[in-house]
Amino acid sequence: MSEPKSLRPLGVGTFYEQVGGHETFVKLAAAFYRGIADDEVLKPMYPEVDLAAAEERMLMFLEQYWGGPTTYSETRGHPRLRMRHAGFHIDPEARDRWLAHMRRAVDELELSPVHEATLWDYLERAAHAMVNTFEPQPGR
């Protein structure tokens, strides 16, 4: 594994800027959705055949959350993550699959340990918060 990217130290600029800005979040979203494309549990949750729109929404959300452009709120309103995901069957298996794809995506970024831990802590908490049932998906 290569050395972590040379990034701004914590405390200088936003987290978004510290980790490399737009290009870093583009890479994260793209890597995540490469995994989703072939996931038999998660892919059916996306009505779009092409995941590009979902990838763009995640990119905008994560950029805004971490201190980048506010494009997400400007185009879609308040994030309301639980509300936006309420119609999907998100059980622990779906959460764990989501986290596995996100783990691979985060690893591709090769962030400094403190930036990686900060990002991963948020992603884990968000994934756990999205669980809305403990009943297995019918047919699984």
pLDDT the model gives residue 44: 92
Measured between alpha carbons, how far is 85 from 74 in angstroms, rounded to an integer?
20
Q: Which residues are annotated as a binding site?
A: 128
Question: Quick check: is 118 in a domain?
Answer: yes
What is the total count of domains within the chain? 1
The separation between the first and the last C-alpha atoms of the chain, rounded to the nearest angstrom, is 37
Question: Quick check: is 138 in a domain?
Answer: no
pTM, two decimals, is 0.86
Residue 60 lies in domain: 15-130
Question: Quick check: is 32 in a domain?
Answer: yes
Query: Residues 34, 10, 107, CA angle at the centre, nearest 5°?
Result: 20
pLDDT in tens, 87-108: 788 999 999 999 999 999 999 9
Which position has the token pair 């049932």?
Answer: 133
Residues, the chain, total?
140
pLDDT the model gives residue 3: 44
3-class DSSP string for 101-115: HHHHHHHHHCCCHHH
Which residues fall within 8 angstroms of residue 5, CB to CB, at 6 or more apart? 20, 109, 110, 111, 112
Provide, rounded to the nearest whole percent, the portion of the chain with pLDDT above 70: 89
Q: Which residues are annotated as a binding site for heme?
A: 128
Question: Quick check: is 8 in a domain?
Answer: no
Task: Check which CATH number belongs to the domain holding 71 and give it.
Answer: 1.10.490.10
Question: Quick check: is 54 in a domain?
Answer: yes
Question: Quick check: is 139 in a domain?
Answer: no
Measured between alpha carbons, how far is 11 from 2 in angstroms, rounded to an integer?
24
Question: Quick check: is 48 in a domain?
Answer: yes
Measured between alpha carbons, how far is 93 from 41 in angstroms, rounded to an integer?
8
For the chain, which residues score pLDDT lower than 70?
A: 1-11, 79, 139-140
